[in-house]
Copies of this chain bind each other. A is one copy, B any other.
Amino acid sequence: MKMQRIETPGIAHYAYLIADGTEAAVIDPGRFVEPYLEAAKTLGVRVTHILETHRQEDFAMGSAYLAEQTGAQIVNGNFETFEHGDIRLNDGDSVNVGSLTVKALHTPGHTPESMSYVVYPPDSEAWCVLTGDALFYGTTGRTDLPDADKSIENAGILHDVVNEKLATLPETTVVLPAHGPGSVCGSGMAEKPYSTLGEEKQYNDVFTLSREQFAQKKGGERNPRPPFFRFMEQVNKKGGLAPLPRTETVPLLTPAEFEKQTRNQRVIDTREPEGYAGGHMAKSHSIWLGGLPVFGGWVSDEKTPVFLITDRNEDIYDAAKQLARIGIDNVDGALAGGFGAWRSSGYPIAASGSITPETLRKSASNYQVLDVREDDEFAGGHIPGAVHMYVGYLEERVEELSLDTDRPVVVTCGVGHRAGLGVSILLRAGFTGVRNLLGGMKAWYSLELPVES
């Protein structure tokens, strides 16, 4: 038996390849299937099964495409919210991979169709359990996705299935979840290489809290639900999306071509916020590379053409791939040579600027402050007098802001990434004198500057 975890950075997604003999199962593959095929080649096995724990919301799955490539069968639960699948398992059913037995357990709560898969070597107790989003390290998946109003109810259901079905497996069972810390499918995950059921029982809140406590805590969380979740659910019901050829062939454009083709189009600048502050193309959105597979889905969608400005050419393909993970495939062009090419060509450059916490503190009355963090973060403490709106809602609701467009605005978030996007949205909306607070609330706290809750 062999097991490999294959991580997708940016979305903290964990897929797995479990092999025995010449057969292998891939669990929860993403859209770009090369790493799974590569792992299978390295181990000298063929992919015979693709196991889906649930209909993922935060990325496009690759099940259907991987099945087409390999001839493998797609295995999932026999529930309505899966619309596809070659083998539909009920709770307790099993399939074989080489000499391994893979037994399905129905573990709803995160989503109604969520399945866990327990792997048994021949004549042995369970070796591992693939839990999808039902059980993470340290906590479980969020329970508000199917219906935000039933989040507490779903959290109770999840507490039940984890404590009744999973908890009966041996303490040494290795827990293999679909996400690690940083995923938008949950919050509060622990960072550890691997964990066992015995370990989780000691500190994971689904075990350490009572059903009631857990339901209140987990069900009471307020996490934004990005608009692309709906599209992901739709495509994943059918096994996801195939890779998009154009991620490798985004047309590179000269500054002149870029300037011409992007008029009235969506331009995303993937540089870090300091780069954007120091100089950028007017009207562009600022989303740092790592933020694309989440915030790209807040400012664009699967139908809108997108153009990219990056720090360097290599980033273009990475950026296109990050967007494609959430179904944004229409990257119709990118500036060849990165922002430097724009600069070197003498085209107009706008600059926003930045401000240090000390300067803001000293001349607070000169500035309006906009805090673009999540509700829970803002509630936990913010700069006195700061206006609040989550960055995801900013583009659509900028007019609701009680801010004066003629007076300088300082935008802040945790450390400056989301504020960068906020800055660019304000600039597009006609604000002037918009600045990114250098180091964000992290710096503000480090300097022990005043905070209100």
CB within 8 Å of B: which residues of A?
A: 1-4, 21-22, 37, 40-41, 44-47, 68-71, 121, 125, 127, 170-172, 174, 191-194, 196, 198-199, 202, 245-246, 248-249, 251-254, 257, 271-280, 311, 313, 317, 336-340, 343-351, 353-356, 414-416, 436, 438-440, 442-447
Contact partner of A252 (CB less than 8 A), chosen from B46, B127, B193, B447, is B46
Contact partner of A351 (CB less than 8 A), chosen from B46, B346, B356, is B356
List of B residues within 8 angstroms of A4 by Cβ: 193
Contact partner of A254 (CB less than 8 A), chosen from B1, B22, B273, B350, is B22
Query: How long is the Cα–Cα vector from A95 to B2 in the complex, in angstroms?
Result: 32
Contact partner of A340 (CB less than 8 A), chosen from B71, B272, B445, is B272
Query: How long is the Cα–Cα vector from A37 to B226 in the complex, in angstroms?
Result: 34
Cβ contact within 8 Å between B192 and A345: no
9 tightest CB-CB pairs across the interface, nearest first? A346-B446, A274-B278, A277-B278, A278-B278, A3-B193, A172-B198, A346-B443, A274-B279, A344-B415
List of B residues within 8 angstroms of A47 by Cβ: 249
List of B residues within 8 angstroms of A21 by Cβ: 254
Query: How long is the Cα–Cα vector from A2 to B69 in the complex, in angstroms?
Result: 33
Cβ contact within 8 Å between B438 and A279: yes
List of B residues within 8 angstroms of A337 by Cβ: 44
Cβ contact within 8 Å between B68 and A245: yes
Query: How long is the Cα–Cα vector from A417 to B237 in the complex, in angstroms?
Result: 50
List of B residues within 8 angstroms of A2 by Cβ: 191, 193
Q: A191-B1, A193-B2, A275-B272 are in contact. Are A347 and B22 (CB under 8 A)?
A: no
Query: How long is the Cα–Cα vector from A354 to B339 in the complex, in angstroms?
Result: 15
Cβ contact within 8 Å between A196 and B196: yes
Cβ contact within 8 Å between A271 and B275: yes
Contact partner of A353 (CB less than 8 A), chosen from B252, B257, B351, B444, is B351
Query: How long is the Cα–Cα vector from A69 to B444 in the complex, in angstroms?
Result: 39
Q: A69-B246, A415-B344, A442-B346 are in contact. Are A354 and B41 (CB under 8 A)?
A: no
Q: Which of A4, A349, A414, A444 has the most CB of B within 10 A?
A: A349
Contact partner of A249 (CB less than 8 A), chosen from B69, B340, B444, is B69
**CB of A18, distance to nearest CB on chain B (Å):** 8
Q: A171-B172, A279-B277, A354-B278 are in contact. Are A438 and B349 (CB under 8 A)?
A: yes
21 A-B pairs with CB atoms under 8 Å apart are A1-B192, A2-B191, A2-B193, A22-B252, A22-B254, A44-B337, A68-B245, A69-B248, A71-B249, A71-B251, A172-B199, A272-B311, A274-B277, A275-B275, A278-B353, A279-B438, A346-B444, A346-B445, A347-B446, A350-B356, A351-B438
Query: How long is the Cα–Cα vector from A446 to B339 in the complex, in angstroms?
Result: 17
Cβ contact within 8 Å between B439 and A317: no
Q: Which of A199, A337, A339 has the most CB of B within 10 A?
A: A199
List of B residues within 8 angstroms of A193 by Cβ: 1-4
**CB of A118, distance to nearest CB on chain B (Å):** 15
List of B residues within 8 angstroms of A442 by Cβ: 344-346
List of B residues within 8 angstroms of A313 by Cβ: 41, 44
Contact partner of A253 (CB less than 8 A), chosen from B22, B40, B69, B199, is B22
List of B residues within 8 angstroms of A196 by Cβ: 172, 174, 196
Cβ contact within 8 Å between B279 and A354: yes
Q: A170-B198, A344-B442 are in contact. Are A339 and B272 (CB under 8 A)?
A: yes
Cβ contact within 8 Å between B41 and A317: yes
Cβ contact within 8 Å between B171 and A198: yes
Cβ contact within 8 Å between A257 and B22: yes
Q: A194-B194, A198-B172, A251-B71 are in contact. Are A443 and B41 (CB under 8 A)?
A: no
Q: Which of A125, A253, A355, A443 has the most CB of B within 10 A?
A: A443
Cβ contact within 8 Å between A356 and B349: yes
Query: How long is the Cα–Cα vector from A191 to B196 in the complex, in angstroms?
Result: 19
Query: How long is the Cα–Cα vector from A193 to B442 in the complex, in angstroms?
Result: 40
List of B residues within 8 angstroms of A346 by Cβ: 439, 442-447
Contact partner of A275 (CB less than 8 A), chosen from B252, B253, B278, B414, is B278
